[in-house]
Amino acid sequence: MKSRANIPTRMRLALAAIIATLLLAGGRCDNGGGPGTPDAGLYHTYAEINDELHKLAAAHAQIAQVSSIGKSVEGRDLWAIKISDNVAQDEPEAETVFLGGHHAREWIAVDVPFLIASHLVNQYGTDTTVTRLVNQSEIWIVPMVNPDGHQYSVTTDRLWRKNRRNNGDGTFGVDLNRNYSYQWGGPGSSGDTFSEIYRGPSAFSEPETQAVRDFLQQRQTRALISYHNFSQLVLYPWGYTNAPAPDEPLLQNLAVAIADRIRVVHAVTYTPQQSSDLYLASGDTTDWLYGEYRVPNFTIELRPRSSFPGFELPENEITPTFEENLSAALFLIDWAIQQGTPPTI
């Protein structure tokens, strides 16, 4: 009896698996999916990000615009999507920026900002919070800062971290998150070309970090999140020193608020802390933007918590990781808007 009862269950499960596979395949843009096409499973490849960002903007031209902020070492475009009402105009609205994928192997750190962009665009006009935030601010999302490294991680070496700079000595790659100029060359970076945290020959030596620098210098960014994984942390400056940042209470309060927003979604804990409490790191994005411009900004280390499974977060965690971080992103966009509100008398 037991086995007879089990057969239809197995069949149902098998059928469900086939249907799920078909649905997922149908829901993805595979760039043709032909032989030899780089495939990251449910994670997005460079070609898929490129294709889907342009489709989003084409289908929602009033609120979404795609542009390239520069090119990688190997000549790939660094795509940015701007999301705002009257998107073609540069309106005097609060700007919030989300960056993803400085490190090649951190695939979830590309998918989270990409999925946030998709959600904002697709829910505009339907979700009242999304509609208000998009109307009142300018949101910029660059989901893949290191496309060469990401591609190499997909096709050749899953655990590749750096970009694909030929260092000229048989080694490849600069750690883009040690290549920014503020306190460049300090502790937690390396001058050895083979090192995973090689900072490059000079600050902003890499076209990818130059592009992010030039882009941010043209904007009036009120707040920024740079996504990485893993460890489930919300990190605020400084990274180069254990000393507290001048605005530490503000940065800490925002990091706590971000972690709270994340936790209420799926009861997953991200710990808010000063970046240097994880380890010292000099020349990263957040120290530069805060050090040079005093912009409150954060590195979010996404799931998982520990080195098992580490960088290779299972595909079934993409959606919940996106969902909990959407909540935090909406909070930060709203906070940025509130900073522009004239004081009530």
Identify which of residues 93 and 111 has a Cβ nearer to Zn ion in the complex.
111
Catalytic residue among 301, 312, 315, 324: 301
Helices and strands (H, E) in the chain, number of each type: 9, 8
Q: How far is the CB of 103 from Zn ion (least distance, A)?
A: 3
For the residues of 129-180, what is the DSSP string, one character each?
A: HHHHHHHHEEEEEE--S-HHHHHHHHHT-TT--S---B-SSS-B---GGG-S
Burial 3-14 (b: 16+ CB within 10 A, else e): eeeeeeeeeeee
**What Rg, from alpha-carbon coordinates, does the chain have?**
21
Nearer to Zn ion, 190 or 253 (CB): 190
Stretch that binds Zn ion, among 54-62, 104-112, 244-252, 272-280 (CB under 5 A): 104-112
What residues between 184 and 223 interact with Zn ion by CB under 5 A?
Answer: none
- Residue 295: CA atoms inside 13 Å, Cβ hemisphere, count? 26
User: How many residues sit in the footprint of Zn ion (CB under 5 A)?
Assistant: 3
Q: Is 251 exposed, middle or buried (0-12, 13-18, 19+ CB in 10 A)?
A: buried
Residue 103 touching Zn ion (CB under 5 A): yes
Site string for Zn ion, 50-89 (x = CB under 5 A): ----------------------------------------
Q: Which residue has the tokens 């000229």?
A: 168
Residue type, 148: D
Residue nearest to Zn ion (CB): 228
Catalytic site includes residue 301? yes
CB of 79 or CB of 311, closer to Zn ion: 311
In the bound state with Zn ion, the residue whose beta carbon lies nearer, of 228 and 261, is 228
* Contacts with Zn ion, 105-134, as mask; x by CB under 5 A: -x----------------------------
Minimal distance, residue 110 CB to Zn ion, in Å: 11
Provide the minimum distance between the beta carbon of 27 and Zn ion in the complex, in angstroms, as a whole number: 27
Tell me which residue of 295, 104, 196 sits closest to 287, measured CA to CA.
Answer: 295
Nearer to Zn ion by Cβ, of 47 and 110: the residue is 110
Tally of CB atoms within 10 A around 265: 16
Question: Of 84 and 285, which CB lies nearer to Zn ion in the complex structure?
Answer: 285
N residues, the chain: 345
Q: Residue for token digits 């460890």?
A: 231
First-residue to last-residue Cα distance in the chain: 77
Selected binder of Zn ion within 228, 282, 298, 330 (CB under 5 A): 228
- As a whole number of angstroms, the distance between CA 111 and CA 109 comes to 6
- 101 secondary structure, DSSP code: -
Parallel/antiparallel/unpaired status of strands 221-229 and 94-100: parallel
Least Å from the CB of residue 228 to Zn ion:
3
Which among 103-111, 120-128, 147-155, 334-342 is the span making contact with Zn ion, rule CB under 5 A? 103-111
Q: How far is the CB of 267 from Zn ion (least distance, A)?
A: 25
**Smallest distance from Zn ion to CB 214, Å:** 22
Answer whether 37's CB lies under 8 Å from 30's CB: yes
DSSP 204: T
Smallest gap from Cβ 206 to Zn ion, in A, equals: 15
Q: Tokens 């780089």 appear where?
A: 38
Beta carbon nearer to Zn ion, 103 or 164: 103
- Positions annotated as catalytic residues are 301
Binding site for Zn ion (CB under 5 A): 103, 106, 228
